Amino acid sequence: MSEIPSSQSTDATLSETDRTNADQPPRRRGLPLIGSTLSIARDPLGYLESASEYGDVVAYEAFGTEFALVFDPDAVESVLVSRSDQFRKGEFETNFGDLIAPGGIAFTEGEQWRRQRRLLQSSFTPDRIRSFAGKMATEAAALVDGWDDGETIVLQDALSTYTLRVLSRTLFDLKREAPRSSAPASGDLPRALEDDRAETVRRAATALDNYASPGRLALGSIVPSWVPDRAEREYEAAMADLEALVADLVAQRRSVDDGGDDLLSLLARAEYPDGSRLSPAEVRDQLVTFLFAGHETTATTLTFACWLLAGDSAVQTALERELEAVCGDREPTFTDCDALVYTEAVVREAMRLYPPVVGLYREPRRGTTLAGYRIPAGTTLQLSVYGIQRDGRWWSAPETFRPERWLTGGDDDSGRTLEPAGDRPEYAYFPFGGGPRHCLGMRFAMTELQLALATIVHHVEFDRVTETLEPSLGVTLDPGPLEVRVRLR
Ligand code: HEM
């Protein structure tokens, strides 16, 4: 297990661990009635990190729910893959889904989920990703173009604007949409209207992040509120606007089938086997789910990757060399991705140290055992991506940023040693989950991340302005307002 700083101990100590009953997982005790809720609301990431000291499966209670944190890669494989039919997402996650998008694919179960997955995965085939990649690269070039030499930027702000623009262009394709009149079917939407629509999507994404923050939800679970707070009011207003926009766009796409390949066109045209179509509310739920799943996750990964690069000139130089060898003077494109192996290694390593999705939630359909421990029905399993990906049993120098560990053999010119994956369990690394419910946008995300990073490094170098990284747990792992200075190359 990786070393846990003592300052991160919260409401319990090791001596309080209940090891009396061999088939119960060790328990981390909190306060009477509210369990560990306050500790988690105060410092969710610290709580999760320090819990790994108790064992590979650790029970605790919070938000009125019984949790079991899992730090064992083989148990993760069992839950996500080989015994996946014995587990469902469970109440903790569906309660969250009910707040933002009850019918969204990330929250549904059984036949409804299968039908949605079949329908939606046709938007994420390699051909579709290739057709989206041009927009990803164009937006990345526009992002870098807006930076001046010597300018200080807040990485997360800049990069979440970037990922939102990519999502808007590929999922909603606001630019392509023609007005209802007889105007041409593509590309001629008046700029102001396009900006207006993009602003509606941006406001919805921001309101979603503020509304669904774990700190807010945690406090809500112990201090019930009958009066909506500001975040809730803003969320409801932003969602009403988004719903109106989606209804309008769906109607337009149904009236003119111009063969558009964005996700909204697919959803607008899709038919169930009985010939019925998705209602605007169903379409809205999917789009909100994609905003939720695909926006901050990629922005956060890019933020961590850029900040890590800014502090490591050897990695920055190795990346630049690779880009020069593969692309020369031209901009990176989709066809370069296979050859940009070091760029991919940087992305993977950033996601190992700072996985945007810190833990996955599952609930056993009935009482079961896991890693030799009894897990009663109603327990919420929390599979710790963050803990496992930093565990010294599977990773050498687990806290060190070392992209080379992802390269297979050969000399990477940096003089650093390569790490054989060897006997590391497969689920020692699972930033995109695994099994039937693995991330639907994984290929989309990896292409976007590789292209954005390559384009950025092609044009600029970074120096750190913020020296210390103190991530916290937001909807995704939150890097905070990290600043870097831009040097144009
Ligand atoms: C670095 C970026 C990303 C990371 C780390 C990430 C991570 C994940 C993880 C861990 C899951 C599984 C959750 C679970 O099993 O409980 C997931 C599911 C999902 N992701 Fe991603 N994701 C990323 C980007 C994206 C993007 C860009 C999209 C779409 C454009 C997307 C769409 C989805 C969807 C729809 C699901 C639900 C799949 C299902 O339940 O069938 N993700 N993601």
Span 105-157, pLDDT tens digits: 999 999 999 989 988 888 889 998 999 999 999 999 999 999 999 999 999 99
Domain residues for the domain of 265 are: 110-140+154-293
Lowest mean pLDDT among 377-381, 396-400, 472-476: 472-476
State whether 269 and 312 are in the same domain.
no
Q: How far is the CA of 340 from the centre of ligand 1 (A)?
A: 23
- CB–CB of 243/281 below 8 Å? yes
Task: Give the atom of ligand 1 at the shortest distance from the alpha carbon of 300.
Answer: 1
Rounded average pLDDT over 345-365: 96
Nearest to 4 by CA among 399, 353, 425: 399
Q: Edge to edge, what strands does the sheet with 460-464 contain?
A: 152-154, 483-488, 460-464
For residues 340-345, average pLDDT: 97
Distance between Cα 440 and ligand 1 center (Å)? 6
> Is 84 a domain residue?
no
**Does residue 413 belong to any structural domain of this protein?**
yes
The CATH code of the domain that includes 329 is 1.10.630.10
Q: How far is the CA of 372 from the centre of ligand 1 (A)?
A: 29
- If you measure from the C-alpha of residue 438 to the centroid of ligand 1, how many angstroms do you get, rounded to a whole number? 7
In a domain, 374, yes or no: no
Domain boundary among 263, 293, 323: 293
Task: Say if ligand 1 is within 6 A of residue 357 CB.
Answer: yes
Co-location of 236 and 316 in the same domain: no
Asked whether residue 410 is domain-assigned, the answer is yes
* pLDDT class of 376 with cuts at 50, 70, 90: very high
Q: Is 360 in the pocket of ligand 1 (CB under 6 A)?
A: yes
Residues in the chain, how many?
A: 489
Q: How confident is the model at residue 436 (pLDDT cuts 50, 70, 90)?
A: very high
65-69, 167-171, 252-256: segment of lowest average pLDDT: 252-256
In-domain check, residue 40:
no
Domain check: are 264 and 245 in the same one?
yes
The number of distinct structural domains making up the chain is 2
Contacts 24+ apart (CB under 8 A), 95-99: 96/212, 96/217, 99/211, 99/212
Q: Write down which residue in 239, 261, 293 finishes a domain.
A: 293
- The reported pLDDT for the residue numbered 301 is 98
> Does the Cβ of 380 fall within 6 Å of ligand 1?
no
248, pLDDT greater than 90: no
Tokens of residue 354, six digits: 């700072």
In a domain, 370, yes or no: no
Q: Nearest residue CA, atom 18 of ligand 1?
A: 439
Angle formed at CA 449 by CA 444 and CA 454, multiple of 5 degrees: 130
Question: For position 273, what pLDDT does the model report?
Answer: 75
Between 399 and 201, whose confidence is greater?
399
Q: For residues 236 and 251, is the Cβ–Cβ distance under 8 A? A: no
Smallest CA separation from ligand 1 atom 7, residue: 432
Burial 215-252 (b: 16+ CB within 10 A, else e): ebbbeebeeeeeeeeebbebbeebbebbbebbeebbeb
**Averaged pLDDT, 389-395:** 93
When pLDDT is cut at 50, 70 and 90, the band that residue 377 belongs to is very high
Let me know whether 269 and 315 are in one domain.
Answer: no
Say yes or no: 450 and 309 in one domain.
yes
Residues 269 and 313 in one domain: no
Average pLDDT of 215-226? 53
Same domain, residue pair 417 and 482: yes
How much of the chain, in percent, has pLDDT values that exceed 70? 83
* Residue 315 sits in the same domain as residue 182: no
Q: Which amino acid is at 305?
A: A
- The burial of 186, by beta-carbon neighbours within 10 Å (0-12 exposed, 13-18 middle, 19 or more buried), is given as middle
* Same domain for 276 and 347: no
Burial zone of 466 (CB within 10 Å; 0-12 exposed, 13-18 middle, 19+ buried):
middle
Per-residue pLDDT tens for 449-476?
999 999 999 999 999 999 999 898 877 8
The answer to whether position 425 is within a domain reads: yes
326 lines ligand 1 (CB under 6 A): no
> Which among 432, 446, 475 is the best mutation to test ligand 1's pocket, defined by most ligand atoms within 8 Å of the CB?
432
Of residues 401, 404, 408, 400, the one with CA closest to residue 416: 404
Average pLDDT along the chain: 84
Task: Look up residue 242 and give its two tokens.
Answer: 């988004």
pLDDT digits (tens, 9 = 90+) for 293-327: 998 999 999 999 999 999 999 999 999 999 999 99
Ligand 1 centroid, distance to 327 Cα (angstroms): 30
Q: Indicate if 345 and 446 belong to the same structural domain.
A: yes
Amino acid at 151: E
Mark whether 313 and 207 lie in a shared domain.
Answer: no
The domain boundary residue, chosen from 239, 258, 293: 293
Q: Is residue 62 part of a domain?
A: no
The verdict on 439 and 462 lying in the same domain is yes
Q: Is the pLDDT of residue 16 over 60?
A: no
What pLDDT is recorded for position 404?
Answer: 94
**Residue percentage of the chain with pLDDT more than 90:** 52
90 Cβ below 6 A of ligand 1: no
Is 252 or 347 the better-scoring residue by pLDDT?
A: 347
Contact 371, 397 (CB under 8 A): no
